[in-house]
C-alpha cells in the first residue's frame, strides 16, 4: 500500500493487487495482516484507491482460486474508489 500521508491524518492510499489477494486469504498470517491494515486505514478516514488494472488482476486471481466466493469478492470493492489510469477508462 502506498500512503500519501502519515497514519495520523487521513489521506489517499493506493492499494495494490497483492494486498487484496492477501486480505482474501484467511489461512495465512499475511491475510490477517492485510485485513488489519486495511481496517486501520478505513478507520483513520483514509480514502482507499485501486486502479482498473488492480481490479482485473484481483478478480482474476480470486476467481481462479475460489469461484464459489463471488459475492464476497464484489462486497469487498464497495469500500474502494476506482481511479482511471487513462482518461478513457
Domain boundaries, the chain: 2-82
The reported pLDDT for the residue numbered 89 is: 55
The reported pLDDT for the residue numbered 47 is: 92
The reported pLDDT for the residue numbered 62 is: 75
pLDDT < 70 regions, the chain: 1-10, 65-77, 88-89
The reported pLDDT for the residue numbered 25 is: 86
Each as own residue / partner, the long-range contacts of residues 79-84 (CB below 8 Å, 24 or more positions apart, any chain) are 79/38, 79/42, 79/48, 80/15, 80/48, 80/49, 80/50, 81/47, 81/48, 81/49, 81/50, 82/49, 82/50, 82/51, 82/52, 82/55, 83/49, 83/50, 83/51, 84/51, 84/52
Amino acid at each position: 500500500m502506498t500512503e500519501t500521508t502519515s497514519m495520523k491524518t487521513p489521506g489517499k492510499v493506493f492499494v495494490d493487487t497483492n494486498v487484496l489477494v492477501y486480505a482474501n486469504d484467511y489461512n495465512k498470517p499475511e491475510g490477517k495482516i492485510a485485513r488489519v491494515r486495511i481496517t486501520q486505514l478505513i478507520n483513520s478516514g483514509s480514502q482507499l484507491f485501486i486502479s482498473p488494472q488492480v481490479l482485473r488482476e484481483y478478480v482474476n486471481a480470486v476467481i481462479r482460486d475460489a469461484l464459489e466466493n463471488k459475492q464476497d469478492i464484489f462486497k469487498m470493492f464497495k469500500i474502494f474508489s476506482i481511479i482511471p489510469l487513462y482518461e478513457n477508462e
